[in-house]
Amino acid sequence: MNAPLSMNGSRRLVDGRECQHVALQREEEGYRLAILLFPGFSQLSLSSFLDPLRLANTVAGRRFFEWSVSTSNGKPVECACGLSVSADHAFSNIVSMVSSSARPHMVVLCAGERVEAHASAPLINLLRLCRRDRVPMAALGTATWLLAQGGMLNDAPCTIHWEKMPALTETFSRLNVMNNLFVRNDDLITCAGEFASFHLAMELVSNWLGEETASAVCHYTTAVQWRSGSDKQWSASSEFASVSNTMSEIISLMEQHIEDPLSLHDIAQCVGYSRRQIERLFDRYVSCSPSRYYMRLRVERAKQLVEHTNMPQVEIAVACGFGTASRFSKCFRDAFGRSPTEHRLWSAATRSIRREASPDTVASARI
């Protein structure tokens, strides 16, 4: 089991007596979380993180984990599916809390699709204050982007939801972006969000209330077990891990070489198979040629960059191994029926319609 976080967020080795003192101190005061919500946040990410903590309190028979919800102005905020969540505080209140006896043990950021729009100067200043005062922070889903925007990740390992991963990598070239469920780096935690938030919460439960409590929470939620943060998010290669290690290895190579595509000859040498053997594998498992499958991976990566960044077409073409903008545009149209420019406009219009669609029956939830 990982050593628990100290009061300032860092892990440390302690002797038995000091460790017992820290544990008793935690037992007396509980664990306070300040949840920062941004418009369009993922309700699944939030619920997957908070509900295991709520259940852990039930199992423990007391309110060990406590949390408050903050928004930029202290007013209710809508999640991506239209539910409105009310707030206890505005972000500005967290500033005074950091320097008071009510100092949170962790600040948790939960964002959604348009995370870039929320990197305001006051928010970045708040995050830097938490960083300076060693208040642990956890970013769920796309919220990793806000930590990167504030310059808090630099070249440290981090993760983000897989759909946003290409955009994060291209926008912040110094980052060491990993395809993990969550990554702990000193007092910063980045998490892929969605169901990965559950596994992060379970690690907190296990660390502070013990593995028996964590197992009881898993039993209640019908989860067989919780996963390690080092487990991978979805990738194309993982789909084949249970049926063909060679296919999984080949596709993993393709995913690692999007910008500089490998020839089939190079791939064959890497895995120790002949070209013909590889072609038979692809015909058996995906009913297409290796080159066609490779092209599909590259245009899918390009699609993510078109949708989630403002990168010029020529830069996306280079990042996805197409060489020229004209070839990229042709391959993209062949795959999706639209040019990259048309798709970017369509994607933006679709997101705008989703934001403006506010049903009269929108429910209001109090967390």
> How far is 41 from 94, CA to CA, in rounded Å?
19
Answer yes or no: is 367 within a domain. no
Helix runs in the chain, H state only: 16-29, 43-60, 91-98, 121-132, 144-149, 165-171, 196-209, 211-220, 245-256, 264-271, 275-285, 290-308, 313-319, 325-336, 340-356
**Position 353 pLDDT exceeds 80:** no
User: pLDDT tens, 186-227?
Assistant: 899 999 999 999 999 999 999 999 999 999 999 999 887 788
Is the same domain home to 133 and 186?
yes
Is the same domain home to 117 and 155?
yes
User: pLDDT tens, 164-194?
Assistant: 999 999 999 889 999 899 999 889 999 999 9
User: pLDDT tens, 65-118?
Assistant: 999 999 999 999 999 989 999 999 999 999 989 888 889 999 999 999 889 889
pTM: 0.74
Give the three-state DSSP class for 241.
Answer: coil
Answer yes or no: is 209 within a domain. yes
Q: Give the pLDDT confidence score for residue 240 in this predicted structure.
A: 77
Domain membership of residue 170 as a residue range: 16-220
Q: Give the pLDDT confidence score for residue 39 in this predicted structure.
A: 95
> How far is 75 from 199, CA to CA, in rounded Å?
29
Is the same domain home to 177 and 242?
no
Q: Give the pLDDT confidence score for residue 320 in this predicted structure.
A: 95
How many distinct structural domains can be found in the chain? 2
Question: Which CATH number does the domain housing residue 296 bear?
Answer: 1.10.10.60
Is the same domain home to 189 and 287?
no
Is the same domain home to 211 and 248?
no
Q: Give the pLDDT confidence score for residue 358 in this predicted structure.
A: 44
Single residue among 220, 246, 264 that ends a domain in this structure: 220
Is the same domain home to 195 and 244?
no
Q: Among 83, 84, 109, 79, which Cα is nearest to 94's?
A: 109
Q: Which DSSP symbol is given to 179? A: -
DSSP for 272-305, written as a single string: T--HHHHHHHHHHHTSS-HHHHHHHHHHHHHHHH
Q: What is the largest CA-CA distance in the chain?
A: 68
Q: What is the mean pLDDT of residues 122-138?
A: 94
Is the same domain home to 47 and 169?
yes
Is the same domain home to 204 and 266?
no
Q: What is the mean pLDDT of residues 296-312?
A: 92
Is the same domain home to 199 and 269?
no
Q: Which DSSP symbol is given to 183? A: E
Mean pLDDT of the chain: 86
Is the same domain home to 96 and 209?
yes
284 confidence band (pLDDT: 50, 70, 90):
very high
Give 232 or 309, the one with higher predicted confidence.
309
Answer yes or no: is 361 within a domain. no
Q: Give the pLDDT confidence score for residue 313 in this predicted structure.
A: 93
Answer yes or no: is 53 within a domain. yes
Answer yes or no: is 11 within a domain. no
Is the same domain home to 176 and 257?
no
Single residue among 191, 220, 249 that ends a domain in this structure: 220
Question: Which CATH number does the domain housing residue 88 bear?
Answer: 3.40.50.880
Answer yes or no: is 359 within a domain. no
